Structure 1
Amino acid sequence: MWITGILGRPKISGAQLVAILPLAIVHTMGNLFTNMSLGKVAVSFTHTIKAMEPFFSVLLSALFLGELPTVWVVLSLLPIVGGVALASLTEASFNWAGFWSAMASNVTFQSRNVLSKKLMVKKEESLDNINLFSIITVMSFFLLAPVAFLTEGIKITPTALQSAGLNVKQVLTRSFLAALCFHAYQQVSYMILARVSPVTHSVGNCVKRVVVIVTSVLFFRTPVSPINSLGTAIALAGVFLYSQLKRLKPKPKTA
């Protein structure tokens, strides 16, 4: 977009790059942890755990932005945590590596959102959301590329893919489409984050979880027990309750 002129190239100072670097680090870690979880457990279970985003968003917003939640908002987080716990106990594909990877992705992604919002509200230093996310993505590439090369290396060459019985053209095509869709999703996510609070953003993200969970169960034909379904439903109902309580503004005190 910068090369074609569709998007104006930002003028970045060294101080801004230093401020953005932590965002790139947690962004990279969040993607790594999510993919680690997806490799260990069912897609639907990973996204059930990631429904706990509001819990971490509230905690991190209180720590870094000074946004203290009301008692009712805190109470609404209980069914989210309880529902995820219930779903975890009855998940056929459950293992600790997949569980903790998904939990770690919650922490890192919500840290990125809260820190990004903190950077966005500093008007004198802020970038527009598209350029901010673009710089984070470029930094993330340079952080991850050496690691991927050292750990995977020859495993991702066309010869290695063919020897593993994979269709190289299909792998490259699907990888490109997945990358395009993922970047578009993240870009839209940042555009929304620039307009709402991190907590509201995490609630909207949980609506996406419903679509992902249902679609993955149907597409991959993942076995889901009634108790597992109940746990997922409780967690998502908690997210809905939480979103409704967040809309309620405390009444101003009268003298």
Structure 2
Amino acid sequence: MEESVIFQWSVFRSLLAILQWWGFNVTVIIMNKWIFQKLDFKFPLSVSCIHFICSSIGAYVVIKVLKLKPLIVVEPEDRWRRIFPMSFVFCINIVLGNVSLRFIPVSFMQTIKSFTPATTVVLQWLVWRKYFDWRIWASLVPIVGGILLTSVTELSFNMFGFCAALFGCLATSTKTILAESLLHGYKFDSINTVYYMAPFATMILGLPAILVEGGGVINWFYTHDSVGSALIIIFSSGVLAFCLNFSIFYVIHSTTAVTFNVAGNLKVAFAVLVSWLIFRNPISAMNAVGCAITLVGCTFYGYVRHLLSQQPPHQELLGRPRLQGIGWNYFRL
């Protein structure tokens, strides 16, 4: 009976973590697009930097001021060896996402982000030499095909935004692997991860933001009509970004990185619908079909991964480990 209650609570906590992540994720995406398109604040590096500054302040307040979470002490060597690489990849991921939002519609960007399972498999195959069941590769076919169809038929296609979103998928895969390694290997909680990660990300992004966009931001201050209300929206997106960063690591800590990626694919349809209702970007019939094929492919991929995870592990010929599904546990330290 007690085990049943614990299991139900675990499932409820995982579901709650996923739902709050969906809410914060879609809200931040819509607000960022609004900032770039409606407020004419076309500076993705600066927006990303504001997000990380707000995350740094938020984590400090939660741990040091409100003392809602105890501080997990990390040796300086481990900060640079473990947290800094994850911060760097996470920073690249956020910047590429904002850059893609600057140039392409939310619906197109979110569809491309569904390419993440494919980049994850390819990354592990090329870099870590992991081997996958043929059904995993087959499940990626509709994902890749749907992305190609969506890209060819996208009415607001922009090559720079498309490439930024595509490379963002690669950064997402790498970031998720590193995040789970840190959380599970070092028993980090989500708020401590943000506490250590966000200052690194701010340090990494601060100088490039000033050098590349500083002049444009100053000019925007002098030319924009309602600077005060615009700044409220921009910094509100930063506060929500802190909540999003917290929820991302909370999802990974409460479930697994695989569930995180699969749940991310399920929110795409909702994000596409909300963005279309707000921005009314043109979507052709074939473009919608391509998006649907991608989502079906992601669902099929999750189903295949689940089937393979139920099989007992066995060794590949020549003694090489065979990776069933995604196999994130291979990266726990």
C-alpha distance in 1, partners of 2:245/2:129?
26
Which residue of the partner structure matches residue 164 of structure 1? 223
Look up the equivalent residue of 2:78 and give its one-letter code: Q
**How many residues were matched structurally?**
250
Look up the equivalent residue of 2:261 and give its one-letter code: S
Superposition pairs of residues 229-248 of structure 1, within 5 angstroms: 229-248=288-307
Structure-2 change in CA distance of 1:199 and 1:64 (3 Å): farther
Structure 2 stretches lacking a partner, 5+ long: 1-61, 314-333
C-alpha distance in 2, partners of 1:93/1:111?
29
Look up the equivalent residue of 2:285 and give its one-letter code: P
CA contact (8 A) 1:52 1:84 kept: yes
CA contact (8 A) 1:61 1:198 kept: no
- Give the TM-score normalised by structure 1: 0.89
Superposition pairs of residues 108-187 of structure 1, within 5 angstroms: 108-122=171-185, 125-157=186-218, 160-187=219-246
Q: Which moved further from structure 2: 64-73 or 179-188? A: 64-73
- Cα deviation code 1:95-143 (max 9, x no counterpart): 2111110011111122111112122332xx4422321133111210111
Structure-2 change in CA distance of 1:54 and 1:165 (3 Å): same
Structure-2 change in CA distance of 1:251 and 1:150 (3 Å): closer
CA contact (8 A) 1:57 1:202 kept: no
Pairing partner for 1:189 from 225, 244, 248: 248
The Cα of 1:2 is off from its aligned counterpart by: 2.2
Pairing partner for 2:273 from 204, 210, 214: 214
Which residue of the partner structure matches residue 111 of structure 2? 48
C-alpha distance in 1, partners of 2:130/2:251?
19
Look up the equivalent residue of 1:204 and give its one-letter code: A
Which residue of the partner structure matches residue 51 of structure 2? none
The Cα of 1:10 is off from its aligned counterpart by: 2.4
C-alpha distance in 2, partners of 1:57/1:133?
23
Look up the equivalent residue of 1:188 and give its one-letter code: S
The Cα of 1:27 is off from its aligned counterpart by: 0.9
Superposition pairs of residues 3-152 of structure 1, within 5 angstroms: 3-4=64-65, 5-18=67-80, 19-61=82-124, 68-122=131-185, 125-152=186-213
Q: Which moved further from structure 2: 202-211 or 54-63? A: 54-63
RMSD: 2.2
Question: Sequence identity, in percent?
Answer: 26
C-alpha distance in 1, partners of 2:255/2:119?
17
Q: Which moved further from structure 2: 130-139 or 86-95? A: 130-139
Look up the equivalent residue of 1:22 and give its one-letter code: P
Structure-2 change in CA distance of 1:162 and 1:13 (3 Å): closer
C-alpha distance in 2, partners of 1:8/1:252?
39
CA contact (8 A) 1:26 1:108 kept: yes
- Give the TM-score normalised by structure 2: 0.70
Pairing partner for 1:2 from 59, 63, 66: 63
Look up the equivalent residue of 1:12 and give its one-letter code: V
The Cα of 1:6 is off from its aligned counterpart by: 1.9
CA contact (8 A) 1:61 1:114 kept: no
Structure-2 change in CA distance of 1:35 and 1:206 (3 Å): same
Look up the equivalent residue of 2:205 and give its one-letter code: L
Q: Which moved further from structure 2: 51-60 or 83-92? A: 51-60
C-alpha distance in 1, partners of 2:79/2:188?
11
C-alpha distance in 2, partners of 1:178/1:69?
39
The Cα of 1:62 is off from its aligned counterpart by: 5.2
